[in-house]
């Protein structure tokens, strides 16, 4: 996770900040997460960099478009868009919990990261990558919940490679939107700086702890939290505050 | 590894990466990420501390919290002025901008790597991504 799915609701619901400021802050948070992980582990590990950059042509263009549209939408509309994205993330995470437990044998691991694949269905892949970028620009999330299924199910990329490639792409997509939010005056240092520092330290700690955590338990807690956040954001959209 | 998730497997480094770009380039990207992120953090922390000291109130942090979100970050035009480093607010804005351009720097490094290796098509794709990122910094209102 890039962290945006938690940051935007935390900043809007707990700190009562305008949603556009929260989204701008979240985008810098996503970049901080990406930078934090890149500084402790080898950047792009397991990722297909060529595929990532080809998809980024579409994703960054979508992010640019999404962040420009975000400047035109009302706060209520943005709250509804965000609630929809949170629900989609909850459904995606639920789908993950229902899959069989992770790879057990070396052969399974090799299948996840096999190198003999050839990406297919480029037009559909690029179109959906543009959508992922647009949603990232609108809501401040990384968009991995769209990119991974698109690469895996539509473009026939092995799941391991798709996940690593999506992780590599998150910071680049967020950068395209963040610069638009910066130019528009939606980045506020007194909000962004403490958030980015916390996120950066959290990302480094998380990257070091990743191999020791019980992901199944975390995912179940996450689903509950996401559903609560979605309800809160719909409520916020309906009440307009 | 029996019950490990995909991300845990990646984190545990049990899988060799696809070598799309050389090991040296991966290490260079990591080194540059550390330097730029370190610089950004230094500027942001320094600016934040200076703004608290500058507030000269017993409860500067609380005062700032009450004023959130505060003023927006300095515009690109102001950032490149001579006064930027004299103001905590300018220093913080500079730190945020350094963090925001970090992914662009990574893509530029990959672009350079592709140019050096004469992988023209890959270089063109990376150049396209850099162009969109640069466009995003000038297209905003």
| Least confident residue range of A51-55, A99-103, A142-146, A183-187 | A99-103
List the single residue in B37, B73, B133 with the smallest CB-CB distance to A35: B37
CB contacts < 8 A (A, B): 242
pLDDT in tens, A2-41: 677 888 888 888 888 888 999 999 999 888 888 777 666 6
List the single residue in A38, A57, A159 with the smallest CB-CB distance to B30: A38
Does residue B52 contact residue B60 with C-beta atoms inside 8 Å?
A: yes
Cβ of residue B66 closer than 8 Å to a chain A Cβ: no
Kindly indicate the confidence band of residue B44, based on its pLDDT and cuts at 50, 70 and 90. confident
Pairwise CA distance, residues A114 & A97, whole Å: 23
List the single residue in A167, A188, A215 with the smallest CB-CB distance to B5: A215
Chain B positions touching A64 (Cβ under 8 A) are 132, 135-136, 139
Nearest residue on chain A to B24, alpha-carbon basis? A42
> Do B133 and A215 lie within an 8 Å CB cutoff?
no
Does residue A213 contact residue A59 with C-beta atoms inside 8 Å?
A: no
> What Å distances lie between residue B102 and A47, A63, B14, B48, CA to CA?
19, 17, 28, 21
Average pLDDT over chain B reads 75
> Do A176 and B128 lie within an 8 Å CB cutoff?
no
Please tell me the distance in Å from A183's CA to the nearest CA on chain B.
Answer: 5
> What Å distances lie between residue A87 and A135, A145, A167, A225, CA to CA?
13, 11, 21, 10
> Do A35 and B102 lie within an 8 Å CB cutoff?
yes
> Do B136 and A176 lie within an 8 Å CB cutoff?
yes
Please tell me the distance in Å from A228's CA to the nearest CA on chain B.
Answer: 25
Cα A42 → chain centroid: 20
Nearest residue on chain A to B64, alpha-carbon basis? A190
Taking residues A58-63, what's their average pLDDT? 94
Please tell me the distance in Å from A63's CA to the nearest CA on chain B.
Answer: 9
Nearest residue on chain B to A45, alpha-carbon basis? B17
Does residue A162 contact residue A151 with C-beta atoms inside 8 Å?
A: yes
3-state helix/strand/coil string of A113-149: CCCCCCCCCHHHHHHHHHHHHHHHHHHCCCCHHHHHH
pLDDT in tens, A170-181: 889 999 999 999
- The encoded tokens of residue A91 equal 């459904």
Average pLDDT over chain A reads 82
List the single residue in A43, A71, A193 with the smallest CB-CB distance to B44: A193
List the single residue in A64, A172, A191 with the smallest CB-CB distance to B103: A172
Cβ of residue B31 closer than 8 Å to a chain A Cβ: no
φ/ψ of residue B58, rounded to 5:
-60, -30
| Least confident residue range of A115-129, A193-207, B5-19, B50-64 | B5-19
List the single residue in A163, A182, A190 with the smallest CB-CB distance to B68: A190
Chain B residues 35-64 with a CB less than 8 Å from chain A: 36-37, 40-41, 44-45, 47-48, 51, 64
Q: What is the pLDDT of residue A146?
A: 85
Mutate to test the interface with B, among A105, A189, A218 (most CBs of B within 10 A): A189
- The encoded tokens of residue A191 equal 């909000």
- Global pTM? 0.81
Instruction: Tell whether ipTM is more than 0.95.
Output: no
Percent of chain A with pLDDT over 70: 83
Chain A positions touching B10 (Cβ under 8 A) are 45-46, 160, 163-164, 167
Cβ of residue B84 closer than 8 Å to a chain A Cβ: no
Q: What is the pLDDT of residue B15?
A: 43
Cα B23 → chain centroid: 22
């Amino acid at each position: 996770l890039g962290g945006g799915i938690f940051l935007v609701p935390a900043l809007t619901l707990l700190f009562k900040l305008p949603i556009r400021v929260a989204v701008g802050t979240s985008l810098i948070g996503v970049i901080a997460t990406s930078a934090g992980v890149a500084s402790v582990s080898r950047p792009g590990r397991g990722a297909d960099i060529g595929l990532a950059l080809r998809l980024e042509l579409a994703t960054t263009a979508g992010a640019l478009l999404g962040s420009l549209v975000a400047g035109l939408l009302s706060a209520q509309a943005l709250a509804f868009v965000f609630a929809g994205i949170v629900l989609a993330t909850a459904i995606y995470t639920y789908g993950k919990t229902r899959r069989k437990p992770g790879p057990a044998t070396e052969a399974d691991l090799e299948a996840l990261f096999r190198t003999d694949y050839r990406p297919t269905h480029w037009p559909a892949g690029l179109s959906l990558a543009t959508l992922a970028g647009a949603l990232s620009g609108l809501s401040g999330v990384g968009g991995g919940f769209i990119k991974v299924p698109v690469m895996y199910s539509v473009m026939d990329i092995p799941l391991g490679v798709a996940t690593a490639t999506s992780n590599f792409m998150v910071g680049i997509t967020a950068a395209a939107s963040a610069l638009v939010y910066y130019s528009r005056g939606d980045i506020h240092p007194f909000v962004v700086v403490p958030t980015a520092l916390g996120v950066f330290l959290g990302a480094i700690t998380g990257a070091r702890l990743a191999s020791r955590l019980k992901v199944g338990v975390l995912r179940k807690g996450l689903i509950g939290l996401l559903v609560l956040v979605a309800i809160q954001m719909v409520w916020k959209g309906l009440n307009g505050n | 590894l029996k019950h490990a998730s995909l991300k845990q497997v990646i984190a545990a480094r049990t899988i060799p990466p696809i070598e799309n770009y050389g090991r040296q380039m991966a290490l260079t990207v990591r080194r540059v990420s550390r330097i730029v992120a370190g610089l950004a953090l230094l500027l942001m922390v320094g600016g934040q501390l200076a703004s608290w000291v500058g507030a000269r109130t017993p409860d500067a942090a609380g005062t700032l919290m009450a004023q959130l979100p505060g003023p927006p970050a300095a515009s690109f035009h102001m950032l490149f002025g001579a006064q930027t480093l004299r103001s905590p607010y300018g220093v913080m804005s500079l730190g945020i901008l350094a963090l925001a351009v970090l992914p662009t720097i990574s893509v530029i490094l990959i672009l350079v790597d592709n140019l050096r290796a004469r992988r023209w098509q890959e270089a063109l794709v990376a150049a396209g991504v850099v162009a969109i990122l640069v466009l995003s910094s000038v297209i905003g209102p």
